[in-house]
A and B are shown apart, each in its own frame.
Chain A
Amino acid sequence: MITNNRHNANQTSLFEGVDRIAILLYVLLVICGLISITSACYDETIEGGFFTFAHSHVKQALWACGALVIGIIILLLDSRYYHMYAYYAYALGVLLITGTIILPEALAPTINGAKAWYDVGPFNVQPVEFTKITVALAMARVMSNYSFSISNTHHLMRVGMIIFLPLAIIILQNDTGSGVVLCSFLFVLYREGLNKWICIPILIVATLFIFSFLFTPLFLLILLVVIFTLSNAMMIGNLRAHIIFLASVCGSALLLYGVSELLFTNALSGYTCMIIASLGGVIAAGIYAVRRNIPAMLLTIGIFIGSMVFVPTADKIFESVLKPHQKERILSFLGIVSDPSGVDYNVNQSKIAIGSGGIIGKGFLQGTQSKYFVPEKQTDFIFCTVGEEWGFIGSIIVLGLLCALILRLMKMGERSQEPFCRIYNYCVASILLFHAMVNVGMTIGLIPVMGIPLPFISYGGSSLVAFTILVFIAIRLDATPRKGLMTA
């Protein structure tokens, strides 16, 4: 923990207690972003020199200045406001994203198939960027409540509500990529003590969701029953009883199948038998849990029922929820369809651009691949420019800065006495981590293309401002208590 001796009572500057390392990392990232945008979009046909407003990088620089002003305002505000108005902010955030769905096309245009934007004069704003902040504030507010206990099922439900309400709206907006970001709050829940035997099955279910169409529903169902039974066993002990339970569910399914085969012709499929058997098992386990009053077990059962509906029907969700291009991207990522000039094109060109950078890169404004062959080169695929022009070394620097900022935010959260501050900081860290992982991962073919920006680097005013607010609130919250302690 950092000693507080640099904060003496005589110092009354504006930046009292503000974490300078975090600010420095933030500024460096924004500069990296500006350099990359300059390379990605530089258009020599624009007359009037390097600093003309028509250049994307000049626009982005103005946005960065604006963001800095907003950041200073945030630092000036009393940190108690964030705690006080967290729920109002949350309500506003939900309203904002609901608005894009309700409002007519003229005010809320559909861009890239997602009705998730506002048309605000000269530019478009994606409100979900700001909703992330408000969800993080609401999370922090709920979980920092003195009476809050993470092991209390009801309390956990409340947290779930906070996450899933905006998630549902975002999915309705047809902007699944941004919605998935909210799932990264599992990271925070784990830090706050959520039983790992809940976290692990959720992670597995999430993975299964992506890969579900590779398996038959029967296989998926059996997998789910096994995973949840075992995780429940790990959570409340008594492995032997759980194995007996597992065996009896499978046994009864087999029995049912055999009997129906003998009595009728093709009466029941194996899948139907397994569903009946597992429903029976769930009811039995539910009665047992209520009788013995084991709420943890009820929670597992709840998640199981949720995922049983979710995963075997993932095919349908896959068909209806995901947009065709997302579907194609996921299928292409999984190697189910491969077509270098078609669906794979983005990722393939992106990999070529990054790969061609080599160790030291081609140098500023010398990139050709990302400039001419990568689509969305200044927004979602900005990392291509970094990789191509600055090579492996430049990539490591950008990734290092991001990683350092995330770790710094976590550290700032840990050193705070206020749970509100800690939880919020973790929320910010998890959002940044998720964005960085998915964005960079997709440019190098590790993760399906989802279309979310790289924090601070990608071109786009609303995204830069939103991330600035997100981080500066964290810095403000971190600065407060120590300052408060000094002055108290």
Chain B
Amino acid sequence: MQQNEAYTRRTILQFIVLLIFGVIILRLASIQIFDSSYKNQAKGNVLRYEVQYAPRGEVIDRNGEYLVQSKECYDLMVIYREIGKQGFDTTRFCDVVGISREKLDRELRNARMNPRAPYMITNYLPKEVKLRFEEHHFPGFYTVYRTARQYPRKIGGNLLGYVGEVDKNDIERGEGEYKMRDYIGKSGVEAAYEPILRGKDGVKIMERDAHGAIKGSYMDGLYDTLPIPGKRITCTIDARLQAFAEELMKDKVGAVVAIEPSTGEILVMASSPTYDPDELVGRERGNNYMRMLGNKRQPLFNRAVKAKYPPGSTFKLVQGLIGLQEGVLTPSMAYPCHGGYHVGKISQKCHAHASPLDLRNAVAQSCNAYFCYVFRDIIENKKYENVKEGLEVWGDYVRSFGYGRKLDSDFLGEGPGTVPTRELYDKRYRGSWNSLTVLSLSIGQGELGCTPMQMANLAATVANRGYYYIPHIVKAIEGQDSIDRRFYEKQYTKVDAKHFEPIAEGMWRGVNVEGAGTSWRAYLPGWDVCGKTGTAQNPHGRDHSTFLSFAPKDNPKIAISVYVENGGFGATIALPIASLLEEFYLTDTITRPQLVEQVKNMKIYYPHYDNK
């Protein structure tokens, strides 16, 4: 090899060495001097963000009584690598905290997967346990303040809902609002008013020194934020009335909804069977929840806003109103009834009563034949091309009362119910059907499905003579002047106000004129109670018992709907429940204790639930 060549190669190699070190130094300059992202990430490594959980807002009833309270409780956390090599006294630890050795071992194994991250060993530690825990020193373990729900009256399980840890879907839907281990309202009021009740978590930033020990607050707490507690919500519910309703509904399946007609405020919303809301709090929540899911009577199903019941005779009110508005009926018009309505093979039976009856008495006596005539007149009206179009017009009226659609209340998961459409029958009967085919609609049977809240809303609408306020559960929110605007707007039906008076009078007669109607047992002296019974046939055995009522007739204070599955005649069980609730709400007394006992002790046999 030439000397020259050797010199060139040596130079090239020296150049390569310098080039390699040059590239490394350039890269170092870029990450150490020019790129600040690494410094920020380092800060994230050194700083410890401690979440300061905000206490959840409380819920009180319309009279200021607590429905939901927050009590302090603690999560027990561990940072595995900080436990230290020498370990700790596990027996004493289990003793103090009150968990089993197996659970501790299991949780520590999980914690070891990510030794630097805080890991929750157990939650819902009561304050006493937390204080006891702090007397001992267990390195690596610490407690975090949380709040747990507490229900002083143990009522309104489905109404108030429950709170649980967020799941994956919640985190996704929350778009960054939620992180693991946060609590979220899962149903009822807790879910509907989640953003208000939740408040805002704060953060405390702690700085660690080179040894990993907490040195103190970062920048003297400049970037710390205080937790903002959730706001208090005043519920429209009357706690005592709610409790009484739940008591009366015991051992029966069904729902009670009571509304203040002049505001749309829901006074009672009881779904039965119900559950003790305290059971869905704390460590046993999962087990209890699973047990309730397994209960064949479905206590977690909020029948008051989700069930689809045939309205039965209570729907005759709507039928009459539509007839009046359409001009096919006048209050004085009378139709005969001979044990029912018979056309060819089709017949609707009726109970024995005087005949013929005018509208007021037909409502009071709940005459089936009368409303068959009315319904046929409505949909066979010559104004419309045919029955199908007539049914569409009828459907529009019905929907204007809030049936067949969601009422748009503030309650999540509200069901729409069903109002059959022309398409439904066209499909079912391949286009060939007439007014007789759908005759059962005239007395609230057939394809009609309503929620108890929709029925209560009808009572409120008649009470208001033509309009209703959207039923709602929240009366006031702490720090806010008003609730949502839509709850202050009158919702008119498609029936003029003047047509409501005869119907209301019919309801009044049913209760107050002896021998004139089916609802006389609802009579409360001096309160002008108006009522309408309903007895709905259904495929699950005995008829459903239902009762719609409002009182007093003028200036009504309460509108109520009671629905008891398989309760028999409307007057048998639904009526006394409604009557007792009205009395209690209006007079604050119970004058018929024997009736209360009788209703409470009435057990209904539900073969289709219990033998499933």
Contact = CB atoms under 8 A, between A and B. Distances in A.
Interface of A: 44, 150, 187, 190-193, 349, 351-359, 365-369, 371-373, 387, 391-392, 395-396, 399-400, 402-403, 406-407, 410, 414, 429, 433, 436-437, 440-441, 444-446
B24 A444 contact: yes
A444 B35 CA distance: 13
B209 interface: yes
A455 B14 CA distance: 19
A392 B45 contact: no
B46 A369 contact: yes
Interface stretch (B36-44, B52-60, B198-206): B36-44
Contacts of B23: 446
A358 B46 contact: no
27 contacts: A190-B9, A193-B5, A193-B6, A349-B45, A352-B38, A352-B42, A355-B35, A356-B39, A356-B42, A359-B33, A369-B42, A369-B46, A371-B210, A372-B45, A392-B28, A396-B28, A399-B24, A399-B25, A403-B21, A406-B17, A407-B14, A410-B13, A410-B14, A410-B17, A429-B17, A433-B17, A440-B24
A355 B31 contact: yes
B20 interface: yes
B29 interface: yes
B537 to A, nearest CB: 63
B33 A351 contact: no
A193 B1 contact: yes
B176 interface: no
Contacts of B43: 356
A373 B114 CA distance: 12
B208 interface: yes
B28 A352 contact: no
Contacts of B27: 444-446
Contacts of A356: 38-39, 41-43
B351 interface: no
B contact patch SS: helix
B10 interface: yes
B25 A368 contact: no
Nearest to B28: A395
Interface of B: 1, 5-6, 9-10, 12-14, 16-18, 20-21, 23-25, 27-29, 31-33, 35, 37-39, 41-43, 45-46, 116, 208-212
Contacts, number: 112
A441 B28 CA distance: 10
Nearest to A365: B210
B33 A373 contact: no
A87 B368 CA distance: 117
A421 B466 CA distance: 111
A359 B5 contact: no
B32 A368 contact: no
Nearest to A434: B20
Contact of B45 (A193, A373, A406, A429): A373
Contacts of B32: 354-355, 357-359, 387, 391-392, 395
Nearest to A348: B41
B45 A355 contact: no
A144 to B, nearest CB: 14
Given A351-B38, A352-B42, A391-B32, A191 B13 contact: yes
Contacts of A392: 28-29, 32-33
B210 A358 contact: no
A378 to B, nearest CB: 15
B209 to A, nearest CB: 7
Given A193-B5, A369-B45, A399 B21 contact: yes
A444 B10 contact: no
Contacts of A368: 42, 45-46, 208-210, 212
A191 B10 contact: yes
A92 B476 CA distance: 89
A417 to B, nearest CB: 13
A369 B5 CA distance: 48
